[in-house]
């Protein structure tokens, strides 16, 4: 804000309106977009790719209609040849959208102009706009899901390696933010791994119902698609690599809502990992830390800071995906046979969540391979809290002679009398009348020495054995479409 001669102006005088770019959404920001989307994922949702997908779906429709004799084969051939967005007047399309307020008709008008002749009369033959756009969105989701599954598979493989490598690294297990019992770092990471595996399966299951075509006509009756409508939609689905829905889903938006919910679960799982790393990176704990490189700056005022920026951003993205999942549930209630309000919500929520999820996965692919594990600090913290994390083992040992419940009461009462000097616990226990020289101080000290929990390695082995590495390998090798379908540069 500037004040010149008593007049207030908004903005920066050194930047003209001509110089300003239109990248107002944070995912497209010239400076900050890396924190909210990957370039690869962003290109999936490029405006030009979206319009080319609409054309691709229209072409698939007219080709299937020609194969069934519904439209002339010559018309289908000409439309196939002309459906190349690089030959279209994009400015004319943009102006026509502003004039008509319609998302698809301006593209079809330009396609008819490019095609010329009688063939143009068979454009969009028997379909409604949402048939084309919903089907194209399914293709869009198929592409972005391949990217998400590929990156999640990579995260899972890394988590598996970390789990096995540190399966016996003893550390403090914490509950309610306080020292509880001994655990191992490998067992902690195994819960991250297990949750990630479930999210991988969730997304794969979701895709089975999500990736369907739409070809139902104005109100779902398929009346304008000829008597061969069922054969037509089956051929249409095969050509596009999608499934056939049982009924129209113009007003049934549960598929998109499920996808958004799965992305929220997936990204939330990554957020839990990132948040745990943040907590264990605190100065007073110092057990884990995200990678930090020379030249990275944690603070403008405190030069020593090594803030967990990546982990914090993953948590931010998880919260954004959670909010969009709620938006997805808002799409479930629609009026009658079609209602565009839900579709327009999907265009925002699905795009943003997919971008956020991809960004979170990209960050985890940087964090986990470079995860800093301070084994000396882990051991030191454990030694200092040895008595605290061993009270369960101590209770069971005492319970062999005085009963488990009596042992619980005895340790509880004695620990309260120790105040802040919990190291006195063993000595005071050895002098209590209840024990009556039943255990020596040396025996109590041995019981209070943390050891690897008996079932930790067994749990880890069982989990690792359950992993389908062949399926993960296939996901990691998924072929992702090139940036442009038509040679046009995606921006």
Catalytic residue among 2, 102, 209, 299: 299
Bridge partners, residue 116, by sequence = none
Give the DSSP letter string of 424-444. GHHHHHHT-TTTTTSS-HHHH
Residue 264's H or E segment, with its range, is helix 254-280
Burial class of 283 by CB neighbour count within 10 A (0 to 12, 13 to 18, 19+): exposed
What whole-number distance in Å separates Cα of residue 332 and Cα of residue 257? 7
Q: Per the structure block, which two tokens stand in for 20?
A: 């300003």
Q: Where are the beta strands (DSSP E) in 342-410?
A: 372-373
Task: Give Cα separations from 27 to 79, 148, 369 (angstroms).
Answer: 35, 17, 25
Which residues, other chains included, contact 200 with Cβ-Cβ below 8 Å and sequence gap of 6+? 149, 152, 153, 156, 472, 475
Q: Give the containing element (helix H, strand E) for 175.
A: strand 170-175
- The tokens describing 71, both together, are 């439209």
The structure tokens listed for 28 are: 């497209």
In whole angstroms, give the CA distance from residue 306 to residue 58: 53
* 60 in Cβ contact with 138 (< 8 Å): no
Number of H helices, E strands in the chain: 18, 6
Measured between alpha carbons, how far is 181 from 179 in angstroms, rounded to an integer?
7
CB-neighbour burial class of residue 457 (10 A; exposed 0-12, middle 13-18, buried 19+): middle
Among this protein's residues, is 353 annotated catalytic? no
Cα separation, 306 vs 444, in Å, equals: 41
Active site residue 168: no
Q: In what helix (H) or strand (E) does residue 356 lie, and over which residues does it extend?
A: helix 340-367
Cβ of 137: how many Cβ atoms within 10 Å? Answer: 24
Q: Which of 16, 98, 176, 466 is catalytic?
A: 176
Q: Which residues pair with 181 in a beta bridge?
A: 173
Residue numbers annotated as active site: 176, 299
């Amino acid at each position: 804000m500037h004040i010149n001669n008593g007049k207030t102006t908004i903005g920066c005088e050194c930047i003209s309106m001509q110089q300003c770019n239109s990248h107002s959404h944070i995912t497209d920001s010239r400076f900050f977009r890396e924190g909210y989307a990957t370039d690869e994922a962003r290109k999936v949702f490029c405006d030009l790719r979206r319009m080319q997908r609409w054309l691709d779906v229209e072409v698939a429709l007219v080709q299937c209609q020609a194969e069934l004799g519904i439209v002339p084969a010559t018309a289908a051939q000409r439309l196939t040849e002309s459906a190349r967005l690089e030959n279209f007047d994009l400015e004319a399309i943009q102006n026509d959208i502003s004039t008509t307020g319609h998302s698809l008709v301006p593209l079809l008008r330009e396609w008819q102009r490019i095609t010329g002749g009688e063939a143009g009369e068979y454009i969009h033959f028997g379909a409604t706009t949402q048939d084309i756009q919903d089907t194209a969105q399914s293709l869009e989701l198929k592409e972005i899901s391949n990217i998400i599954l590929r990156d999640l598979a990579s995260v899972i493989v890394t988590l598996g390696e970390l789990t096995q490598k540190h399966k016996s690294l003893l550390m403090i297990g914490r509950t309610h933010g306080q020292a509880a019992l001994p655990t191992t770092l490998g067992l902690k990471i195994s819960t991250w791994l297990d949750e990630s595996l479930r999210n991988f399966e969730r997304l794969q299951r979701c895709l089975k119902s999500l990736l369907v075509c739409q070809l139902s006509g104005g109100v779902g009756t398929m009346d304008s698609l000829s008597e061969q409508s069922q054969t037509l939609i089956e051929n249409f689905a095969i050509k596009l690599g999608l499934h056939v829905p049982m009924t129209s889903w113009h007003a049934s938006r549960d598929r998109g809502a499920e996808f958004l919910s799965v992305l929220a679960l997936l990204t939330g799982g990554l957020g839990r990992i990132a948040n745990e790393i943040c907590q264990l990176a605190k100065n007073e704990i110092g057990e884990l830390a995200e990678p930090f490189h020379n030249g990275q700056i944690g603070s403008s005022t405190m030069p020593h800071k090594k803030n967990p920026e990546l982990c914090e951003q993953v948590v931010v993205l998880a919260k954004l995906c959670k909010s969009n999942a709620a938006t997805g549930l808002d799409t479930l209630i629609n009026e009658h046979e079609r209602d565009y309000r839900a579709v327009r919500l999907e265009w925002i929520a699905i795009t943003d969540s997919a971008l956020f999820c991809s960004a979170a996965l990209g960050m985890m692919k940087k964090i986990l391979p470079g995860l800093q594990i301070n084994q000396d600090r882990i051991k030191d913290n454990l030694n200092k809290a040895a008595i605290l994390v061993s009270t369960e083992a101590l209770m069971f040992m005492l319970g062999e002679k005085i009963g488990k419940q009596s042992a619980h009461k005895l340790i509880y009462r004695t620990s309260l009398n120790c105040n802040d000097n919990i190291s006195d616990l063993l000595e005071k226990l050895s002098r209590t009348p209840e024990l009556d020289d039943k255990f020596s101080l040396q025996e109590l000290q041995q019981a209070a020495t943390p050891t690897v929990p008996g079932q930790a390695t067994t749990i880890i082995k069982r989990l690792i054995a359950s992993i389908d590495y062949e399926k993960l390998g296939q996901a990691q090798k998924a072929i992702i479409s090139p940036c442009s379908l038509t040679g046009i540069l995606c921006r």
